[in-house]
Amino acid sequence: MVSTIEPRLKESTHLGLTFGVMQTIGRRLDYPRVWQHHMLAKGIIPKQLKKALQDADIVLSDLPYCPPIPGPWREKPWYLISHNLEHRLLEQGSGRQRRFANWMRNIEGAAPRTYTDILACAEEDRAFFRAHDTRSQLKLPIVRCGVDPKLYAFSPEMRPQIRAKLGLRDKDWVLVFSGSGFAPNVEAFREIEEFCGAEAEFLAQSRVYILIVGSVSSEAFRRGGLIVTGPVPEVLPYFAASDAGLNLVTRGSGSNVKLFEYLAARLPVISTVFGVRGTELTPLVDYLPCSRDNLKEVIQHFVGSDRVSWRAHAEGVWSRHKNSCDIQNLVDDAISQLPAFGD
C-alpha cells in the first residue's frame, strides 16, 4: 500500500503475510521486535523493500530494530534515527521485555560502527553513542521531538466552545495532561488519579480541574476535579481549553513530545524535572518544577497569579525556545551536518 503524506513524501507499507503474522504474535505476547531485527539482518525482506533500497540514494533506519540490510545497497549512506535508547525502555518494561535489554544494549552500542551516522533525540542518547564511537568520526546531530508550530494555532472561539462542552466556566483553572498508553504515561496518570482523590476538597475550592487527554485511558469519565476524555481525534481543542500543560512522568527514555506540544500551544508548563529531559527548559525560569509530593503547592502557586501573566510567560518561553522546538528547524540543522544530504 502506498499513500501520499504530502508532496514529494510517500509512505509504502508492505508487511507481507509472514511479517504481519509475526508482528501480531509478538505484540500479543508482549515481545519486543527482536524477530524483525534478525530477519532484516539476514536480508529476509519483502520484494517492495528491495526495490526501494535499489532506488534509494540514502537509507534511514527508524529505530535499531531496523538494521542495515545485506545487499548491493549496503554501500549507500545508511543512517539510524534513534527516538530514544531502546535498551533503557526494555529495562523498564515487563519481565519478558527486560530479558532482551542487554541484547539491545549491545545492538545500540554497536550502532556507531554499523551506521554512517546516527540522529539522536536527546543529549543523553548522543552521549551513549559518542561513548561507543571508537572511530570518533560521527557527527551525531540531535533532532529533538519537535513539532510543527502551525498545527498548534487555534482560533479564539475554540476555548469557550470546548470549555462549554466540558461543563467548565471562565473562572475554572484547567491543567492538561496528554499521552498515549505508553507505560510511563499510564503510571503518571495513576499518580494524577490518586492526587485528585486525595485532594478533592482543595481542587474544588480552588476551581482546578486536571484534564487527561488521549489513549492513556481507554475510557472517558469524570470524577470531581478529574476529567478524562479517552482517545480523541486531536488534542488541540483541549489544549485551547487549558491554562497549563502538566507532565508528571518520572521514567522513560528520549524526550516527551507533549512538552513540545505544550510550548507550541503557548501553555505554561508544570513538569517533573525528568519530564523536561531532551528540552532546553530551565526550572523556575521556563517551567514550574513539580513532583507528586509537592504538586498541591505548585498548583497553589500557579492559580495564585492571573491568566494574563501566565500567557505572557508562555509566549516568552516560546520566543526563547522556538528554534529548538520547531521540527523543520531541527531537521534542517541536523541534515546540514551530514555530508550525504548535501550531495
Q: Find the mean pLDDT for residues 196-216.
A: 97
For residue 18, is it within any domain? no
Q: Looking at residue 89, what is its pLDDT? A: 87
Place of cell 533525540: 121
| Rounded CA separation 210/228 (Å) | 8
120-149: pLDDT as tens digits: 988 889 999 999 998 888 999 988 888 999
pLDDT band at 19 (very low <50, low <70, confident <90, very high): confident
For residue 27, is it within any domain? no
Q: Indicate if 176 and 308 belong to the same structural domain.
A: yes
| Rounded CA separation 110/334 (Å) | 22
Q: Indicate if 136 and 187 belong to the same structural domain.
A: no
158-183: pLDDT as tens digits: 999 999 999 999 999 999 999 988 88
Q: Indicate if 166 and 130 belong to the same structural domain.
A: no
Q: Looking at residue 29, what is its pLDDT? A: 85
Q: Looking at residue 146, what is its pLDDT? A: 84
Q: Indicate if 269 and 335 belong to the same structural domain.
A: no
Q: How many domains does the chain have?
A: 2
- A 10 A CB-CB count for 256 gives 25
- A 10 A CB-CB count for 252 gives 20
Q: Indicate if 278 and 306 belong to the same structural domain.
A: yes
Q: Indicate if 129 and 155 belong to the same structural domain.
A: no
Q: Return the HEC string of 141-210.
A: CECCCCECHHHHCCCCCHHHHHHHHCCCCCCCEEEEEECCCCHHHHHHHHHHHHHHHHCHHHHHHHCEEE
| Rounded CA separation 270/305 (Å) | 14
| Rounded CA separation 301/202 (Å) | 13
- HSE at residue 116, side-chain half, CA atoms within 13 A, is 16
Q: Indicate if 123 and 170 belong to the same structural domain.
A: no
Q: Which residue has the higher pLDDT, 4 or 74?
A: 74
pLDDT band at 37 (very low <50, low <70, confident <90, very high): very high
For residue 222, is it within any domain? yes
For residue 158, is it within any domain? yes
| Rounded CA separation 293/132 (Å) | 38
pLDDT band at 9 (very low <50, low <70, confident <90, very high): confident
CATH assignment of the domain containing 282 = 3.40.50.2000
- List Cα–Cα distances, 179 to 14, 85, 214, 246, 324, in angstroms: 28, 19, 5, 11, 21
Q: Find the mean pLDDT for residues 319-340.
A: 90
Whether pLDDT at 75 is above 90: yes
Can you read off the three cell numbers belonging to residue 36?
A: 524483525
Of 172, 185, 292, 174, nearest to 231 by C-alpha is: 185
Q: What residue numbers bound the domain in which 106 lies?
A: 34-146+328-342
| Rounded CA separation 1/18 (Å) | 16
Whether pLDDT at 16 is above 80: no
263-284: pLDDT as tens digits: 999 999 999 999 998 888 999 9
Q: Looking at residue 343, what is its pLDDT? A: 60
Pairing label, strands 2-6, 9-12:
antiparallel
Q: Find the mean pLDDT for residues 233-246.
A: 96
Q: Which residue has the higher pLDDT, 154 or 310?
A: 310
334 Rama sector, left if φ>0, alpha if ψ -120 to 50, beta otherwise: alpha
Q: Indicate if 212 and 276 belong to the same structural domain.
A: yes
For residue 10, is it within any domain? no
pTM above 0.85, yes or no: no
pLDDT band at 300 (very low <50, low <70, confident <90, very high): very high
Q: Looking at residue 15, what is its pLDDT? A: 62
Whether pLDDT at 31 is above 90: no
For residue 165, is it within any domain? yes
Q: Looking at residue 197, what is its pLDDT? A: 96
Q: Which parts of the chain are beta strand (E)? A: 2-6, 9-12, 59-62, 78-81, 117-119, 173-178, 208-213, 221-223, 226-228, 244-247, 269-271, 288-289
Q: Indicate if 249 and 310 belong to the same structural domain.
A: yes
For residue 51, is it within any domain? yes
Query: Are 16 and 40 a contacting pair, CB within 8 Å?
Result: no
Q: What angle do CA 21, 23, 25 make, to 5 degrees?
A: 70
To the nearest whole number, what is the mean pLDDT of the chain? 92
Q: Indicate if 168 and 129 belong to the same structural domain.
A: no
Whether pLDDT at 216 is above 70: yes
Q: Indicate if 223 and 308 belong to the same structural domain.
A: yes
Q: Looking at residue 92, what is its pLDDT? A: 84
- A 10 A CB-CB count for 310 gives 19
Q: Indicate if 234 and 196 belong to the same structural domain.
A: yes
| Rounded CA separation 3/64 (Å) | 24
Q: Find the mean pLDDT for residues 313-337.
A: 92
